[in-house]
Structures are given as C-alpha cells and as structure tokens.
Structure 1
Amino acid sequence: MCRRILLSALVTLSAIKSALSAPIFSHAIQVGVVTDHNIDEASGLAASRIHPSVLYTHNDKGDSSRIFAIDADSGNLLAELNINNARNYDWEDIAIGGCPGALTKSCIYIGDTGDHGGDGSVKNIYVVEEPALLRSGDLDPIVTLHYSWDVLDTETVMVDPSGNVILVSKVHGGQGKVGMIPASAFAAAGTTYQISHSTALRIPPTTHNDPVGGDISANGKEVLLRTHDSLYYWRVDDMDYLRALSTTDPIVVSHIKEHQGEAVAWDALGNGYFTCSEGHNQPLYYFRRSSN
C-alpha cells in the first residue's frame, strides 16, 4: 500500500513539474486571412526554412496535386506550386525537414495519407525540395515513398531533424497509433516501407475522429498535436517521439475553435505556432511564445 501511494505521489509530482515547466503561449492573434479562392480546404500547414514568413498549405482530397505558399503576416497567396507525377487522393498534412540524403537542404513532405471517406488510404509521401525562388510553377518530387501500415486513416505527418517521418493515425476517440518511417527508407525509391511497430497515442479520449494534424519544431524538441477541441504539447529532449507520445501526458496549450481547423505549424524559429481552418476566407492565427 505504501509503495503504491509513493508511486502515485511521484507521478503527481512529475505531472506538476511538467506543467510548471511547460511554455506559455498567447491567445490567438489573427495575423491575416487566407483569401485566395483556390484555397478552400487548408488541411495542413508548414513553415518554410529558407523563406522568412512563408507558410505552405494544401487542400484536402479532390484537388489537383498542388501546394500553396502564403504570407505568414497576411495570409496572401505568394505562389502556387504544382507537384509533377503526383496525385491528390487525400492529402492530409504537410511538413518541412531536411532532404533525404542531404539534411542541410530543406524539403517539403506531403502526406497522401487520408482515407477518402472510409475507403482506405493510398499511403504515399511525396518529397520535393523547397524552391530557392518562390514563384508559381512546377516541382518534381525527389522521392515518392509508398508505405504500408495497419491503419485506415492518418492526418498527422511530421518530420524530425534526422529526416525521420512520424505518423499519427486518426481514429474515433482520438487515441490512435504513432508510427515512424526512418530517413533511410527514402533512399530505397520504388519500394514499399512496412511500418511494423506502432505505439498507442497518449491523449485523453475524445468524441471525434482525432487527431487531425501536428508538427515537430525545427530543433526537434517540441511537438504539437491538434484535435478538434484541443491542442497538445510535448517536450521531447531525446527526440524519441514514439516513446514520448505514448507514455507522457501532454500539456494543453492555447487553441481557438475554428470552422474546421486541422492545420498547425511551428514557425521556423520556434517562437510560436500558426493554425488555420478549412473553408473559404479563413483567418490565419498565430500563438506567440511568452514563457519557457
């Protein structure tokens, strides 16, 4: 009995310590409106690593194979980029990370990972290098990776500093699976990578199909995961994301209820994060870090 009480006390103290050390972010600051009429289902969001104050987004299922560069200070469209030799079956998330085999370069990872209304996902990751000159045009994937995983739907695609891709499945109740595609898998173009090991996501049960998006900070030490009603934060100093997301209670951070909000992205410097929603003329929100 004493041992159980001691263990319970230690867990409680650990949770209190984690909460006290968690960063504090401002309430939602509307920095712009995504007004371009072609952006009507902004499902993912990622901050450029080479162009200051630039965000990339894309539409959900049914659009052409394109992404959009928008101004992080206004929401205005900067460029429309068509992805050659790709198909938007159900694009659900987008992330920025080092390029396969060249981590000092910056690449955009696009996840065709959604289930398209319950009929299963095609499970493709398209990787394109960030364009040095930001203007409308075409981009060729440097890698298209097909993977296999025993989940129906995934709406969270994140990339860590080592080029590993972290996936989180979407399920009714929110407690999905966390899987990883190692950076080395992207060197074997034309093959299928099998995700054989998964962990169970540790978030409170929900009444929705969750989670719907997430992002890893550029330094790899902070993770955001979005559900319909909350935004969760983990500090992951050892970058073991599968362990952290499955064994550590997250901290709830600032969030705003949006029309159909699925997208979240750290800014390139880790000073805060952006969110936006699907739909026409949706606000672009920023949450500024105010404490560490």
Structure 2
Amino acid sequence: MRSLRTTLGAALAAVVLSAAPAMAEGEDDRFTVEDTRITESSGLAASRAHPGVYWTHNDQDGPRVFAVDSRTGETVATITLRGIGTPRDMEAVSVGPDGAVYVGDIGDNLDGSWDHVWIYRFPEPKRLRDQAVDATQFTVRYADGPRNAEALMVHPTTGRVYIASKHEDGGGLYEGPARLSAGGPNVFRRIGEVPWVTDGAFSPDGDELVLRGYFSARAYAWKDGRLGAEKRLNAPIQRQSESVTYTVDGSALMYGSEGTGSEVVRVPVEGARPAPSGSGSPAPGASGVTPGTPGGGGDGGDGNATVGALVLAGAAALVLLWRRARRRG
C-alpha cells in the first residue's frame, strides 16, 4: 500500500495539472526550429493555406524562405524566390488576404545607407515541397528619408502594407500605398510613433496591431488605419527576441528568436475564442488582450493568477488532511 506521503504527492500533482491551462487538440504548440540552415529567424508568419505551418527566413541569405511545421519543428518546404535581385537584409514576413506571402527586405543596420529597400511577394504554394516560385519585387522609399526597419505587417482585410522602423530613440509606423506597384517606387509615409520594434503582426480580424521589441511587446487598437489605445503584453524573455505572429485562428501569439535551434513560444491571447476546427477564419473577439485585464501587463494575467490560486488552495487542503491524519495516527 502506498504511503500517505506518496498519496499526497500524487494528489498535489493532480491539482497542479488540473489547474494548468490545457492545449486544445489541433492548436499550435511551442516548437523548436530544427533546420540547422535557419540561424537568423528574423520573421514569422502563420500560413493561411497550411494549418500549423509557419513561414520564416534568415537575415543575410539568398532569396529563400522556409515553411516550418509547428508540430515537429521540421522544415517541410524551402521556397526559392525567382525573378528578384539579391536580398540585402530580409527582416520580416507576413501573409496577406490575397493568399500571398510578403517578405520585407527592409533592414539597414547603418540607419540610412540605402535610399530604397524592397518587398517581395509570392503566392502561397498549394503543395508544400522544395520548389522555385515566381515572385514580384517592389521598391520602397520612405517619405522622410532612409531608415532601418525590421517589422512589416499586411492588414488582413485591406491588404495594405505597413512597416515599423527601428531606432533606439523610438521608431515610426509607415503606411504604404493602397496597392503596391511593381512599376515604380512605393512611398511609405509616417503615420505614428512606436518604440524600438523588431517585428509586428495584425490580429486575424484586423482590430489590433502587436509590436514587439527585445524586452517587451505592446498591442494597439487599430481603427480606420491608425494606432489607438496601447496595452502591454506578457511576452516571453528570449535569447534574441526577433519575431511575432498570431496563430491563424487568433487564439494565441507565437514569439520567435534568432539562433540555431531557436524556440518559438506560444502565448494564449486573453479573451480569445478560437475559430472552429478546420476553419481558417478568426473567431469574433479574437483580436487580442481584453481591455482592462491584467493579462495585458508584464506581470502575468488572470489565467496565471487563477492557476496560482488553485495550486495554493489545493496544497493547503492537502497539508490540512496530512496534519489531521498524523493526529489520528
């Protein structure tokens, strides 16, 4: 017969496990990027065509992107972009409502050494396999002069492209034209002020914009194409915080890092209701942290507080039972 101590330990473990939030079947979990070719995963975007797959790329690399399966961390397709020039500093990736993948060759570590940067666009392949695809190259200029940037976001309903510049004193949010043109420079105009940004993503319903930096992440209400109220998010501390994207159903944010064998961490979005299984569309209200909830701050959320309270209550009850058993003995 098991000892009382063993029984209590098992019971306490059951309390902890029952208090922990469970992953629903089919949800994208955290994963490690297994491909040793991916050493500078600077951008991350959830595929709309292939559930559970994420697009990523290196900074300094040839014209290629990788499709990574979140269930295994393995690369399931390497896509080589055909018909474009040699990339200089690819920093971001986003999937648009047109079913295309947008890659931002927008980095400029010398803060203004290039008078233009590029965006590449290619359709998401229907079949994931190593292949070359035709891509369109767009030239980008900023209305107020060259700058460094690492975040490119395509709005999920309007298809408009936005870029957030990166600077130690704070950057700017830049809006592209209503439609990109391959025939001439696309001028991006500053429409807002943002902190140091390494990546960003719109919620699937387009109602929020999340921007992350090395040490924090923020969500902004998005209305009529402009930044609104700001909330701090509970982002993980990573080796080099480089990327962020929503899961395709809007139920969580996926945070990525640079380096070989980098980890992508899943953080549930407070108040989000995942779309039904098999649906590629976001659920209503799945746009981000609910206003006014502690989950929007850096000190954890209501979910963490509830888990902690349940664990403590369970532990206290078990200790009380143990003491009573000792007195009876």
Do the structures match in fold with TM over 0.5? yes
Contact 1:156 1:212 in 2 (8 A): yes
Deviation at 1:276, TM superposition (A): 1.2
Q: Deviations over 1:33-61 (max 9, x none)?
A: 11111000000000011111010000012
Check if 1:168 corresponds to 2:158.
no
Matched, 1:153 2:141: no
Q: CA deviation at 1:83?
A: 0.7
1:289 Cα offset (Å): 2.3
Instruction: Say how many residue pairs are matched.
Output: 242
The 3-state SS of whatever aligns with 1:110 is: strand
CA distance in 1, matches of 2:232, 2:69: 27
Alignment of 1:76-115 (within 5 A): 76-86=74-84, 87-99=86-98, 106-115=99-108
TM superposition shift of 1:117 = 4.5
Q: CA deviation at 1:80?
A: 0.7
Give the drift of 1:229: 0.6
8 Å CA contact 1:47–1:56 kept in 2: the answer is yes
Aligned equivalents of 2:91, 2:207: Cα separation in 1: 23
Alpha-carbon offset, residue 285 of structure 1: 0.7
Q: Output the amino acid matched with 1:199.
A: I
- Counterpart of 2:69 in structure 1 is 71
State TM-score, norm by structure 2. Answer: 0.69
Query: Take 1:239 and 1:270, find their aligned partners in 2: how far apart are those partners?
Result: 20
Give the distance between the partners of 2:65 and 2:240, measured in 1 at CA: 19
How large is the RMSD of aligned CA atoms in angstroms?
Answer: 2.0
Taking structure 1 as reference, are residues 290 and 193 closer, same or farther at Cα in structure 2, changes over 3 Å only? closer
Identify if the C-alpha distance between structure 1 residues 148 and 202 changes in structure 2 by more than 3 Å, giving closer, same or farther. closer
Normalised to the residue count of structure 1, the TM-score between the two structures is: 0.78
Q: Say if 2:278 is the partner of 1:284.
A: no
Bigger Cα Rg: 2
Q: Do the aligned partners of residues 73 and 201 (structure 1) sit closer, same or farther apart at CA in structure 2, a change above 3 Å counting? A: farther
Give the Cα separation in 2 of the matches to 1:79 and 1:36.
11
Deviation at 1:253, TM superposition (A): 0.9
Q: Could you say if the C-alpha distance between residues 119 and 148 of structure 1 is closer, same or farther in structure 2, counting changes exceeding 3 Å? A: closer
- Consecutive unaligned residues in structure 1, runs of 5 or more: 1-24, 100-105, 204-209
Unaligned ranges ≥5, structure 2: 1-20, 23-27, 272-289, 291-329
Map 1:1-292; keep pairs closer than 5 Å: 31-61=30-60, 63-86=61-84, 87-99=86-98, 106-118=99-111, 120-121=113-114, 122-141=116-135, 143-149=136-142, 150-160=145-155, 161-173=157-169, 175-184=170-179, 186=180, 188-195=181-188, 197-203=189-195, 210-236=196-222, 238-240=223-225, 243-244=226-227, 248-291=228-271, 292=290
Do 1:114 and 1:120's aligned partners in 2 also have CA atoms closer than 8 Å? no
Please tell me the residue identity of whatever aligns with 1:47: A
Q: Percent identity?
A: 28
Q: Which has the higher contact order (CA 8 A, sep 6+)?
A: 1
